[in-house]
Structure 1
């Protein structure tokens, strides 16, 4: 489950708990006085917004007093469902219809100006204080936020293996705004359809609406439960898994006229129980649970109960503690607080390389200042303006605010492109070939230096794009998929077929084989899956058994020993432990046994197996460091021994030795290829990190992209070394 969760407040002055939904009178600027002075305000709901805010903001700052503080967003969704449905129901009762343009105009006037101000400010802050490597992604996120589809962009990124090292975006919190806006767009249309259908069928309106509500809520809830288990990262952001939360508030709004009839004693119990359910969820839940699934029932139903029973409970209900001046003040500022706190936190973290919990709390507290200014200088003046009250003007205002935010994001993307600049033609750089061909270890050409003459390729800002072609061709299987996907390179009728099998650490070597396939009669077939070591053992991903990896690996093994049998299998991987037989512990011995089993089955089928040693773990985003320190590259090195120890090479070597593998690594004692066991071990770490401190740039080529992965360009310069090693194994 992602660690990011945010909330959204709808305009309190449009709340359905008012008798006729009046707007605030112009000139009343003090939020506490406004709340206190209007008896039609549901002060318990304003206070509930504050409760949700106090769950979310400290959680984002890193304070784990409420480790499930992310439930605040779910509370806001329930409130929004109640507020919006109540507005629409009153309009239907009054006019018999829903004025869609008027509704969208009110939403545009209320939400878009402040949101665009913060998006523009975030673009400026990112340009001033965030490393350039983040500009393009953040700019794209700003555009998506302005157009209210960033939640889908984040959902796609959450399952994109190549985006694993992208830090939380400065506008990532706009995902919940996007969900809200999509709800605002769809819900009035669905409600209007239900009203029209009820009139034509001659049935009562409210029962028809409740049936329509169930037709939305039940599939959405079922989908949320399903997705939370099978695609939890994506499930967190997408709208379809959140719609049922809005329907809880909508259900309360439809029954609003009957809720004051709840017996007072029962109402008091229900209202306090609802608040307790919210706080309990915030306290006992953690980021380790899958979300949103059935766990989300606790805070959302709690919010629904509190809203439903609040009126009948009266002063003995939660309003006794939620209706004070301070809680009302925070309740009114919630929207602006929501907008401002997150970009301030992220910009500070990016600029300083991390911040303490105390600093985070100070930033969250200080966000009250821009929130207060935005509330009084942007939100209130526009909301109270008679001129902007015109539907056409409101819609025009919304469109223009959106365009301003889009331009701000596009400018950030353009600035990134300008900063990235041109790269050197890979044909003009040496990369690993700058090192000694026979003994790269300790070659001075591989020692770290502060700067390099002639430039670096790929440009560090473009490093995440310097990846094997198979990613763009859809041949790297995602973690939640078990189906096998392959890519083929070289001549289809080649005499020798080489299969490359494993995780992304295997996939990174494909460019070298593509180079060699051009000069050899080789056909290259890829079988790769994210974070999936090619083993018959069961590994773990995100704390859960990686079942799709086991299924995928079994299918691949059947294919390789069956109709798709190659001449050679080249395999690599990072995972060094797997679940033991009882499934309770992780063990390197279990992974070793799984590797040996898979390799033995291949050998028994008459296939030669080449095990490519895992590349060292860098422990940092080297390319990001290089992008900021091109004149001080020694800041971007890492310790070789630590990197090797943290990689999967140890368990690979142990398994290879147990099966009597021939070591075909450069300089290995057995480099003659004697002992034809059909299993070979190839370790090229000396050509990747020749010295005790691993250099980020060798031969004018950037060695690393995301995490410990090697850039496509540097891998291609390793092709001659791979060719020489395979020749020792008889692959010519």
Structure 2
């Protein structure tokens, strides 16, 4: 989202216009999420398809099974962008306007969230396969309260996995709980030299907070502190850029290559790294993402035409993330109904990608963007034209 209100100097706050490199990174992350949800063992794993005849099975497994890591990439990006926007808008984090900050988060997040919960409740009531909440200890009321109360991750850790369309909301619970407390922490600490060490401790705690939760697989994956550690990593990068001279071109190249190599190692090479680094692989993942973000923000790249479609995925990442499981269930259902051989499974990925992007674009055009513009005009007194410019997908 682009800031649109006047800064303290009265100028329009467009300094953080869309960055194609960051959109590309977000696009890659949402692609990995979709690959993961399509390729779970009970659905259409690539390793069982004809692609295994020409590509290494380890590579196909890495493509299918890094959706969780992709969400942590999103966490780092979110912290980086939201803190960066706040610094551009208010000069320092100590000057955050609580009302404006919360209004922006609400306008961006809540309309789609409410619509999704309503649709899922209706499908549950109709008894649609894949949408009915039927595990012991779970109920539609409990899931709805957890989703809207931002503790669906805790609810799943206590009761087990929810159906797929509900399950994606675990990351939203972590992110929004963090952003409820973040501006308060900024106002209480007042100084960067107080806030930054606290964020650093949280960011570096990631391997240990995950390791401490090994007794509960779901809670280990979806607990608050590991996700918040990744968000804190992104905020630290925004603070560093806001208080230091921009990196030199040579430093940007080093950060870009180092971040790229680190991300590839943490995802595609995770099979070899986990026995060596254990939970430290997650720290490699978040640190590499931050290195890339600093480089991309300091020296925005020209994205090749062939990769620009990924930027559109990045711009629509929130809408695609919330809605893509409808497409996944539909495509997997058609695949099973058709009786297709597992070797042809990879052919079903293309329509899944096209439909997921299309559904996300429709949600953005007809729901999230109009609602966000209206709420911004109502709560932030943003002019219609400025509100429209501010509410681009992402």
**In which range does the TM-score fall when normalised by the shorter chain?**
0.7 to 0.9
Matched with 1:645 is none
Quote the Cα distance in structure 2 between the aligned partners of 1:72 and 1:212.
25
Q: Distance in 1 between matches of 2:309 and 2:194?
A: 41
Aligned equivalents of 2:102, 2:170: Cα separation in 1: 19
Q: CA deviation at 1:310?
A: 2.1
Distance 1:391 1:248 in 2: 29
Q: Distance in 2 between the 1:332 and 1:268 partners? A: 24
Residue 248 of structure 1 and its aligned partner are, at CA, apart by 1.0
Is the CA contact (8 Å cut-off) linking 2:123 and 2:131 kept in structure 1?
no
Partner of 1:302: 288
CA distance in 1: counterparts of 2:316 and 2:376, whole angstroms: 24
Contact persistence 1:74–1:245 (CA under 8 A)? yes
Asked if structure 2 preserves the Cα contact closer than 8 Å seen for 1:260 and 1:311, the reply is no
Within a 5 Å distance, the mapping from 1:614-629 to structure 2 comes to: none
CA RMSD of aligned residues (A): 3.7
Q: Secondary structure at the match of 1:262?
A: coil
Aligned to 1:339: 322
1:330 to 298, 304, 313: 313
Matched, 1:71 2:54: no
Listed one character per residue, the Cα deviations across residues 144-198 of structure 1 (whole Å, up to 9, x for unaligned) are 212221110111124xxxxxxx674431011001111111111111122111xxx
Distance 1:386 1:235, change over 3 A: closer
Q: Is the 8 A contact 2:66 2:267 kept in 1?
A: yes
Question: Shift of the alpha carbon at 1:95?
Answer: 9.1
Could you state the TM-score of these two structures normalised by the residue count of structure 2? 0.75
Aligned counterpart, 2:157: 155
Which residue of structure 2 lines up, in the alignment, with residue 172 of structure 1? 167
Question: Contact conserved, 1:155 with 1:233, CA < 8 A, in 2?
Answer: yes
Distance 1:178 1:314, change over 3 A: closer
Q: Which position in structure 2 is the counterpart of 1:191?
A: 186
1:606-621 to 2 correspondence within 5 Å?
none
Aligned residues: 345
Asked if structure 2 preserves the Cα contact closer than 8 Å seen for 1:155 and 1:237, the reply is: yes
More strand by share: 1
Which residue is 2:148 aligned to?
146
> Which residue pairs with 1:223 in the alignment?
209
Residues 89/21 of structure 1: CA separation in 2 closer, same or farther (3 Å cut): same
1:273 is displaced (CA, Å) by 2.2
Separation in 2 of the partners of 1:327 and 1:176? 22
1:58–1:361 Cα change, 3 Å: farther
**1:50 to partner: Cα distance:** 0.5
Give the Cα separation in 2 of the matches to 1:392 and 1:127: 39
Residue deviations 1:108-136 (CA, integer Å, cap 9, x gap) = 11111112222222333344462499345
Partner of 1:379: 368
Q: Is the 8 A contact 2:323 2:356 kept in 1?
A: yes
How far apart are residue 369 of structure 1 and its match?
2.2
SS in 2 for 1:331: helix
Structure 2 match to 1:269: 254
Instruction: Give matches, 1:92-491, under 5 Å.
Output: 92-93=90-91, 97-128=95-126, 130-131=128-129, 134-136=132-134, 137=138, 139=140, 140-158=142-160, 168-195=163-190, 205-219=191-205, 221-227=207-213, 229-257=214-242, 261-285=246-270, 293-315=279-301, 319-321=302-304, 325-346=308-329, 357-358=345-346, 359=348, 362-385=351-374, 388-390=377-379
Q: C-alpha distance in 1, partners of 2:215/2:231?
A: 23
Instruction: Tell me the CA shift for residue 350 of structure 1.
Output: 7.5
Distance 1:331 1:324 in 2: 11
Secondary structure of 2:212's counterpart equals: helix
Native 8 Å contact 1:274 1:305 kept in 2: yes
CA shift at 1:274, angstroms? 0.9
Instruction: For structure 2, list consecutive stretches of 5 or more residues without a partner in the other structure.
Output: 40-44, 47-59, 383-394
Task: Using CA pairs under 8 Å that are at least 6 residues apart, name the structure with larger relative contact order, 1 or 2.
Answer: 2
Change (3 A) 1:217 1:273: closer
The structural deviation recorded for 1:234 is: 1.5
Extract unaligned runs of 5+ from structure 1.
1-11, 24-37, 159-165, 196-204, 394-732
Maintained 8 Å contact 2:19/2:300: no
Q: Which residue of 2 aligns with 1:662?
A: none
**Cα distance in structure 1, aligned partners of 2:37 and 2:254:** 31
| Distance in 2 between residues matched to 1:87 and 1:311, nearest whole Å | 12
Contact 2:259 2:292 in 1 (8 A): yes
- Taking a change above 3 Å as real, the CA distance of residues 370 and 110 of structure 1, as seen in their structure-2 partners, is same
Q: TM-score, normalised by structure 1?
A: 0.42
Q: Distance in 2 between matches of 1:304 and 1:114?
A: 28
Question: How far apart are 1:323 and its partner, in Å?
Answer: 9.9
Q: 2:34 maps to which residue? A: 57
Rg larger in 1 or in 2?
1
Contact 1:44–1:322 (8 Å) recurs in 2 = no
